[in-house]
Chain A
Amino acid sequence: VREGLGSVTRSVWRSNRWQPVVAWFTALLLSGCAGAPSALAPRGPNAQRIADLWWLMLALGSAVYLVVVALFFYGAFRRQADASLSTKRLTWAFIGVGGVAVPLVILLTVLILSARTSGAVSALAQPSDVQITVIGHQYWWEIHYPDEQVITANEIHIPVGQPVALTLSSQDVIHSFWVPELHGKLDLLPGNTNTLVIEADQPGTYRGICAEFCGPQHALMQLLVVAQEPTQFAAWLDAQRQLAREPADETLRRGQQIFLGSGCSYCHAIQGVAPPAANGAVGPDLTHVASRSTIAGAVFPNNRGNLSGWIVDPQGMKPGNKMPPTRLNGPDLLALVAYLESLK
């Protein structure tokens, strides 16, 4: 079904003289907006199917639109001497064909194509190898690989070319998981789970966005999906499965003591150092925090400056998030940051 609709849509477009318009539009979306997590620059089969459906609907919709607007202006500006609709039967035919018959055919077409796409992109249609659990929090994402005993946050690694099933739920309010380049969105509900199957065609990092209003920092609740070749993915899993690295020197040991003594461990777990809270995570697991490329919900690059700033003044960087500021003197802060940076 997947190839069917895609190829039908594509062949319609390939053979169509409107193709330059589409190409131009696509080029605008791609080049003019480089770096955008664009739903029209699909990098996975599900996003591709939906994009195909869109181009088809755009073609039909544009045709309808142009005809209606043209009829309006032609009718409004035509000379009275022109042929008229004045016989009653013609008028009724005009309303019947334009208002009922043609729309009915077009709508049924769209409906059938839409239902087919819907079936093809649904979780049921795609048996999946890798299982991942995503739990939404105000304003970050808790990620579990239940079969692998791996817990991380805000960064999902998946193997390229394999369907991956995400089990979505929420710890607090409703969030919505959306990686435009890979698939449409699906909500994370408290007390219920949804399943979304994503797949990436090629290696890369794809931005995900919370799409359901979830409070003051809804805007900066994002994540990254990193698609890797299967071997790299397996290596990543192996590394994530390890307990946290032991502090290698005095500074790092001091950093670990500060982590344990300054309240960090009330909310953040480090496997082998600080156990997770009994009634669910409050903040992201930091066992391998240094392996992640961003912090604070895929908002800031994970570097020493941002990490220090985030510890001391999280409310200044992302006002309204749940992390309280931690007062530390310079050397302590440096030690703590050095320790966190060692957690590869």
Chain B
Amino acid sequence: VATTLDRLERTWSPPAGLMGWLTAVNHRTVGLRYITTALILFLIAGAQALVIRLQLAQPGLSILSPEAYNQVFTMHGTTMMFLFAVPVMEGIGIYLVPLMIGARDMAFPRLNAFGYWVYLIAALTLYWSFLVGSAPDGGWFAYVPLTGPEYSQGLNIDYYVTAITFLEIAALVAAVELIVTIFKLRAPGMAIHRMPLFVWAILVMAFMIVFAMPPLMVGSVMLALDRMVGTHFFNVAQGGDPLLWQHLFWFFGHPEVYIVLIPALGVVSSIVATFTRRAVIGYTPIVLSIVSIGLLSFGLWVHHMYTTGLPALGENFFAAASMMIAIPSGIQIFAWIATIWEGKPVWRTPFLFVMGFLIIFVLGGITGVMVASVPFDAQVHDTYFVVAHFHYVLIGGSVFPLLGGLHYWFPKAIGKLPSERLGRWSFWLLFLGFNIAFFPMHITGFLGMPRRVYTYLPGLGWDVLNLVSTIGAFVFALGALVFAYNMVRSARHGPLADDNPWGAGTLEWATSSPPPPYNFRVVPEVRSREPLWEQERWWASEPPAERQASIVADPEAGRRETPGTSLLDGRVMTRVVLPGPSLWPLGLAIAVAITFIGSLISLWLVPIGALLTYVAIVGWTWPNRARPQAEVNVVAAETPDPQREPVAGSEAPMWWGIVMLIVIETTVFATLITSYFYLSNGAAEWPLGGFSPPDLLLPTINLGVLLLSGGAMYWGDRGIHQGNQRRLIIGLLISFALGVVFLVLKYIEYSDNDYLWDTNAYGSVVWTITGFHSAHVIALLLKTLTVLVLAWQGFFTEKRNLGVEVNGFYWQFVVVVWLPLYAVLYLAPRWL
């Protein structure tokens, strides 16, 4: 046993010192970084809320100037939604999911680290703008035209669009990471119907991020282009439409609310099960509820836009959808009540937070049904009633479970028990403070007080209610400080926690507190939903010899391995080899940051950053000669034969990663196409400005060129699968050349255009779609170049060709996606 442990320890421990800190990729390190950073930002945004409440305590106060107030409330909302809520939930997922599913790490540990660095740089950028006094001041929703080039001239909104676009990369990376990990790295035997409810919640959250973030990125890039290079997406005078921004923003923004709610529901399920000492009743209905909330939440965005004067029929459809989302929420509430009814609740701090969640969130849900009503919303929209409503939903639905969860998992992560006494104090202060602060706001809103006002006139009946809200906010803040003090103090002086201090049933409690770098001495084999309650305690010791090979108890020296299992039933399929510490994630994050955030300094930094990004990606993915199999990433282990073979196809996490990337990209292109038709439908003539529709001859030839390049790529790819290295090289060369021809013809076509991106909204959307697709072709050519070099060196073989396969897969996507884009750009203007 000692030798096994030593080898595990040696393999999984990060290097010491600063280098170890910068190169760390372990999911628990990255997860804790996410959580800590997000909590610090939560406190900062909370402090901003206190300043807001001070300013509003009485009418006519001038603690802040109007401009400063707008920056503060914008940063409060932006921080809470983008920098706190989503990252903290992803952080908890990143920390807990591998522990809960019995994996040693996540599917792409370096990508994980990269995501964190991106998040950190985005947060630092936004707070840099705050420190220098030009923070975003257009609200977290940044409605155009107020945030457009005409009405917001400073850098404020530029910080917003660049940092937010950049930040969403982190959200998407973490989402892909979580999805692939949950799909492919579950412990042997953890069939999909045995996954903890929390893992289900994280899975649904991750899928929602994949579909919700791309429209926001498209919108924020459009706004950045409007501001920086003079496009007209949102400029009415040139055929743009401000409501397009609202559609894009809320198509993201409404799911966003559920993105931060659903993981919290997973936390509630975990706490309810542990503190009632029984499995949650209604596993299947709860899973279906979570999934249907995820789906429904994409059909509600228009309820943020009732007052823009959309057609009444459409509005009533969205009202119905908005109200119906109460049903899956109701199912979960009643499932938990049934569980509590059947079990015997232990009233410790985490359960108190669940109680707080229920009391607050249900009230927020009910006012949510009310504001879904179109005429009622006309009265309360953009008033303090809505401020009250969404704080009930977000703080009650998300923050209370989060704090309960932090208290609950604290002993696992830190190895010390938090103080129950301080925990209770913090809960009651938070609970009372919250209700004192936010309940009166329902009434303040009815009395006519709008949101986002830096002050108000005396004599309108708002004074007393505002003062009460301010007092409540400070009580709430005191509760948050007590909570933070409890965490800090207990981390230093708390009593040591054993493996499972609460007597929970899920796998994260099967290992030591805190877990070792390799998570589990033996990867457990799962036969039930609560294995610690229902299975014998065999995971603490050496597993039976016959299981040892299949569950990777003892990886080969120096290789980080975890079992790869099948998607539905959790059968062991492969051993996944995971990469170790690396500096490339930080390097790539810096390169991408230069591309995005550099645009604030000079647009020239954008191509420079893109080039550095390419260099970093090549450095990252270049095979490590010292460990020739590492880059293959996946090794088959269906038989315990040491003579392993590289594996490709859907058994490889990388394959799933590319599938998810393609899903994200498809969403991006779909958003662009939708925007094109949105603008053309609103236009009296299309193309705008009396230009004739584009010629068909050259683009159609070019379409053929691109299709041929896809064929050549496929031919080469098939070649290497038969071990034909020559055919691979020829195929790559032909498709590379055809790709270059495509770009050259494109250049000829567009240099002949009589309109540019800044001519009118038609020019903006056409140039952007074409430019975005051409950027993909350029990126693919560069990527193919590195594959060509490796192919030249004879790196790829009949068995080892995942790199070729993945490159080809993505190439085909870029070819296929051009078909609908061709139809939109060249055929649609003739038909419309």
Contact = CB atoms under 8 A, between A and B. Distances in A.
Contacts of A103: 326-327, 330
Nearest to A170: B145
Interface stretch (B457-465, B577-585, B653-661): B457-465
Interface stretch (A33-41, A145-153, A227-235, A238-246): A33-41
Contacts of B15: none
Contacts of A185: 307, 378-379, 381-382
Nearest to B138: A213
Interface in A84-116: 84-86, 91-92, 94-95, 98-100, 103-104, 107, 110-111, 114-115
Given A50-B378, A100-B331, A211 B340 contact: no
A190 B324 CA distance: 33
Interface string B430-465: 000000000000010011101111111101111011
Nearest to A64: B366
B428 to A, nearest CB: 16
Interface residues of B, number: 82
A263 to B, nearest CB: 23
A138 B151 CA distance: 10
Contacts of A195: 309
B362 A65 contact: yes
Nearest to B378: A184
Interface in A108-149: 110-111, 114-115, 117-119, 121-122, 124, 138
B69 to A, nearest CB: 8
Nearest to A117: B375
Contacts of A86: 342
A56 to B, nearest CB: 10
B367 interface: yes
Interface residues of A, number: 87
Given A33-B447, A121-B375, A176 B338 contact: no
B831 interface: no
Contacts of B376: 50, 53-54, 57, 114, 117, 184
B479 to A, nearest CB: 21
Contacts of B312: 118-119, 122, 124
Contacts of A35: 459-461
B379 A47 contact: yes
A180 interface: yes
Given A107-B369, A185-B381, A213-B139, A71 B337 contact: yes
B447 A38 contact: yes
A21 interface: no
Contacts of B189: none
Given A72-B358, A107-B326, A207 B448 contact: yes
Interface stretch (A75-83, A247-255, A269-277, A328-336): A75-83
B662 interface: no
Interface stretch (B314-322, B725-733, B793-801): B314-322
B503 interface: no
Contact of B316 (A53, A68, A95, A118): A118
B337 A75 contact: yes
Interface stretch (A7-15, A215-223, A285-293, A304-312): A215-223
A214 B146 CA distance: 7
B272 to A, nearest CB: 11
B355 interface: yes
B341 A84 contact: yes
B449 to A, nearest CB: 8
B203 to A, nearest CB: 22
Contact of A39 (B139, B355, B369, B448): B448
A184 B367 contact: no
A190 B145 contact: yes
B191 interface: no
Contacts of A172: 145, 150-151
A219 B456 contact: yes
A130 to B, nearest CB: 20
Contact of A213 (B335, B337, B452): B452
Interface centre among B316, B355, B376, by most A CB within 10 Å? B376
Given A69-B359, A99-B333, A219-B455, A40 B342 contact: no
A47 B376 CA distance: 9
A72 B456 CA distance: 40
A98 B342 CA distance: 16
Contacts, number: 261
Contact of A65 (B320, B363, B456): B363
B506 to A, nearest CB: 22
B341 A75 contact: yes
Interface string B326-357: 11001111110110111011000000000100
A69 B316 contact: no
B778 interface: no
B670 interface: no
Contacts of A178: 448, 450
B242 interface: yes
A222 B145 CA distance: 20
A178 B752 CA distance: 50
Given A114-B374, A176-B382, A186-B378, A99 B242 contact: no
Interface string B135-148: 00011000101100
A61 B327 contact: no
B281 interface: yes
Contacts of A95: 281-282, 285, 331, 334-335, 338
B469 to A, nearest CB: 14
Nearest to A121: B375
B319 A111 contact: yes
Given A36-B460, A184-B378, A85 B342 contact: yes
Contacts of A214: 146
B330 A99 contact: yes
Nearest to A319: B66
B79 interface: no
A190 B236 contact: yes
A29 interface: yes
Contacts of A91: 281-282, 338, 342
A39 B379 contact: yes
B534 interface: no
A53 B338 contact: no
Given A33-B461, A186-B307, A212 B330 contact: no
Interface in B272-321: 281-282, 285, 307-309, 312, 315-316, 319-320
Nearest to B454: A219
A207 B143 CA distance: 25
Contacts of A216: 66-67, 70, 454
A189 interface: yes
Contacts of B281: 91, 95
Given A38-B448, A213-B451, A69 B358 contact: yes
B341 A32 contact: no
B404 to A, nearest CB: 15
B221 interface: no
Contacts of A210: 450
A111 B330 CA distance: 17
A172 to B, nearest CB: 7
B341 A39 contact: no
Contacts of A29: 443, 446-447
B529 to A, nearest CB: 16
Given A38-B461, A72-B359, 14 more contacts: A37-B460, A39-B448, A57-B369, A72-B355, A80-B344, A100-B327, A114-B375, A115-B316, A186-B309, A189-B243, A210-B450, A213-B138, A216-B70, A219-B66
6 contacts: A47-B379, A57-B373, A72-B358, A84-B342, A91-B282, A191-B236
6 A-B pairs with the lowest CB-CB distances in the bound complex, closest first: A184-B378, A33-B461, A36-B461, A191-B236, A219-B453, A75-B341
Interface of A: 28-29, 32-40, 47, 49-50, 53-54, 57, 61, 64-65, 68-69, 71-72, 74-76, 78, 80, 84-86, 91-92, 94-95, 98-100, 103-104, 107, 110-111, 114-115, 117-119, 121-122, 124, 138, 172-174, 176, 178, 180, 183-187, 189-192, 194-195, 207, 209-220, 222, 299, 319-320
